[in-house]
Amino acid sequence: MSMELRTSPHLISDRSVERIMKHVVLSLLPICAFSVWQYGLSALALLLVVTATCLLTERLLNRASGQASTLNDWSATITGILLGLTLPPAFPLWMGVVAGFVAMAIGKALFGGLGNNVFNPALIGRAFVQAAFPVAITTWVPAFSAQRFSEFVPTTLTAPLMMPPDIVGWVKQQGVDAFTGATPLARWKFENVTASAHDLLTGVVTASAGETSAILILLCGLYLAARKFMDWRIPVAVLASAAFTAWMFQLYDPTHYPAPTFVLLSGGLMLGAVYMATDMATSPVTPVGVWIYGAVIGVVTVMIRYFGGLTEGVMYAILLGNALTPFIDRYTQPRVFGTRQRRKS
């Protein structure tokens, strides 16, 4: 009987990086489709332009560094889609190009490429444009406008370095007279008005392109978890810790702090918990570490929403979790079987 010896890694399945990334992209397609159904041509153009920018930047950086093309691992595609989903549908396309370039060049290539990046590249691109273009990043349009499939939002095609046009007149042309231009989180923070759970679940709200139906994001996440392409413990820890923190604050003052359901379903928490916090390169790998990591993100998100100057804190909470990942992994390593814990002298 012959025996074949091989060095590690010992692959026992066909679950490669490319296959995992491809399934993540497939799971994102229904979310993208619903976003386009909500916001029309502007959302479609934004997703395509940002994703194309990420792919082009990845290819150019490969050539500049003399490396083979890495486009076939689907990681740049995921970064482009997630980044596009975090941006407002009315975001100017040239600013989306800037966000895509920064995400790939600074968020990924600067650290050495796939698997070496410390922070989620899509959130790096989002953080950069939030600091660089604060007005554009907070310009919103109503969902399901009448002419969303026949014309672009005026700000979409703004020329580079030019002042975006005022979209108030365009919004009125869509037959929306009472549009405030505020997201559900902004309305709660500044007006103490909460959206209904039905609107948040179905996506009938003003928000970023990816803040769509919360139930749709959950279903897509369940698909990845069922195929074991995602560590289900991370989103569970994020959502559970956020809900518990919101519940504690509501017990303290129910007239000022919203219900946990509003905290879970509003903003980008659902998309961040399912698709961004679970990034394999930037999240812990130890059994205890993933729970700590998710709990930190959930608690920090709620604290920023409640006490910070910004209405949303998911992005910064995940970036903080990414920064803590090496320390979490270091101090939560399981004890090696058959060894004793070293006594302190």
Q: List the chain pLDDT tens, one digit each, 345 residues.
A: 455 655 555 555 566 788 889 999 999 999 999 999 999 999 999 999 999 999 999 999 999 888 888 888 899 999 999 999 999 998 999 999 999 999 999 999 888 888 888 999 999 999 999 999 998 898 888 888 888 888 888 888 888 877 777 776 666 666 555 555 578 888 888 878 888 877 787 777 777 877 778 889 999 999 999 999 999 999 999 999 999 999 999 999 998 899 999 999 888 999 999 999 999 989 999 999 999 999 999 999 999 999 988 888 999 999 999 999 999 999 998 777 666 655 554
> Is residue 146 a contact partner of residue 172, using CB atoms and an 8 Å limit?
no
Our CA dihedral for 197, 84, 115, 19, rounded to 10 degrees, sits at: 80
Kindly report the number of other CB atoms within 10 A of residue 124's CB atom: 26
> Is residue 230 a contact partner of residue 278, using CB atoms and an 8 Å limit?
yes
User: How far, in Å, CA of 31 to CA of 323, rounded?
Assistant: 28
Res 282: pLDDT: 92
Res 33: pLDDT: 94
> Is residue 251 a contact partner of residue 294, using CB atoms and an 8 Å limit?
no
The alpha-carbon radius of gyration of the chain (Å, integer) is 21
Res 161: pLDDT: 79
CA distance readout (Å), 76 to 29, 71, 277, 315, 336:
15, 7, 17, 19, 37
Kindly report the number of other CB atoms within 10 A of residue 166's CB atom: 11
Return the closest-CA partner of residue 312 out of 282, 275, 271, 283.
Answer: 271
Residue written as token pair 């309305």:
187
CA angle 115, 121, 126 (to 5 degrees): 170
**Residues 6+ away with beta carbon under 8 Å from 66:** none
Res 345: pLDDT: 47
Residue written as token pair 């037959």:
175
Q: 341 is written with which tokens?
A: 């814990």
Tell me what percent of the chain is helix, strand and coil, each rounded to the nearest 5.
Answer: 60, 0, 40
**Residues 6+ away with beta carbon under 8 Å from 55:** 71, 76, 77, 80
Give the helix/strand (H/E) hosting 129: helix 121-132
Res 340: pLDDT: 63
Task: Give the HSE-up count for residue 38: Cα atoms under 13 Å, Cβ half-sphere.
Answer: 28
Give the DSSP letter of residue 8: S
What secondary structure does DSSP assign to 58-125, as a single string? HHHHHHHHTPPP-GGGSHHHHHHHHHHHHS-TT--HHHHHHHHHHHHHTTTGGGTSTTT-SS-HHHHH
